[in-house]
Amino acid sequence: MLELAVLGLLRDGAHHGYELKRLLADLGFWSVSFGSLYPALRRLERRDLIEAQVSSDKRRRKVYRITDEGDDYFQDLMRSDDTSTADDDRSFRLRLAFFEYLDPDRRLPILERRRHQIIEERDRMKRRLGRNRERAKARGDRYRLAVLEHGLRRAEADLAWIDELIMAERTAPDGFSPGVAPEMP
C-alpha cells in the first residue's frame, strides 16, 4: 500500500518526505506516521526504486524522485492481481487514484475484476444476513444485524459506483469528456 502510494506520488513529481506525508493524507486513504514513512523511503531507496537528492539550500531536505526501475516496479504493482492484500477495497481505490499512469488498455479489465469482487462481497453479505437473521431476531440483537445491513448497503453502493466508472471508461477511454465518443470515419 505505502510503497505504491509513494511511487505514485513521485510519478506526479519529486517530493521530500515531510511533503509526502501531507500528499499521502490528501489522497484520503490514511495518515501515515513519520516512523513508518521514513523507513519506507529508505527501503525504496536501497532497492533503487527511488533516489534522493539533498537540497542545496540550508533546509536539509531529501528530495526523492522515482527511478526507471521504480517506474517498472510501479507498473507491476498497478497491473498485479494483488490477492495478497486482504484489504481489497483500499488497495483498489489506491490503484485507481493512479490510473492515469496505467496503460489505458489495462484499465477496463481491472475495473471489471474489481466489479466481480464487489459482487462476491455483496453476495457474502447477503448470505451472512440470511444466516444471522433468525438467530439475531430471536435474541433481540438488532445491532449485529445493523452492521451486516450496512455492509450490504455499502457493497451495493460500491457496485453502482464501479458501474459508473466502467461506463465512463467505455465511453471515454482516453479521458475525453463523456458524449464526445471517438468517431469512426
Partner DNA sequence: TAAAGCATGTAAGAGGTTACATGATTGG
Partner DNA sequence: CCAATCATGTAACCTCTTACATGCTTTA
Site string for DNA, 77-116 (x = CB under 7 A): -------x-x------------------------------
Return the closest-CA partner of residue 51 out of 71, 36, 35, 23.
71
* CA 107 vs CA 79, 92, 135, 144, 175: distances in Å: 9, 12, 43, 37, 12
**CB-nearer residue toward a copy of itself: 75 or 132:** 132
Answer positive or negative: Cα dihedral of 169, 171, 174, 178. Answer: negative
Among residues 40, 63, 159, 165, the one that binds a copy of itself under rule CB under 8 A:
165
What is the C-alpha end-to-end distance of the chain, expressed in Å? 44
Assign 51 to helix, strand or coil. strand
Largest separation between any pair of C-alpha atoms in the chain: 70
Site string for DNA, 32-71 (x = CB under 7 A): xxxxx-xxxxxx--------------xxxxx---------
Q: Which residue ranges make up the site for DNA (CB under 7 A)? A: 1-3, 16-19, 30-36, 38-43, 58-62, 84, 86
Q: Which residue ranges make up the site for a copy of itself (CB under 8 A)? A: 26-28, 30-31, 86-87, 93, 96-100, 124-125, 128, 131-132, 139-144, 146-148, 150-151, 153-154, 157, 161, 165, 168, 175
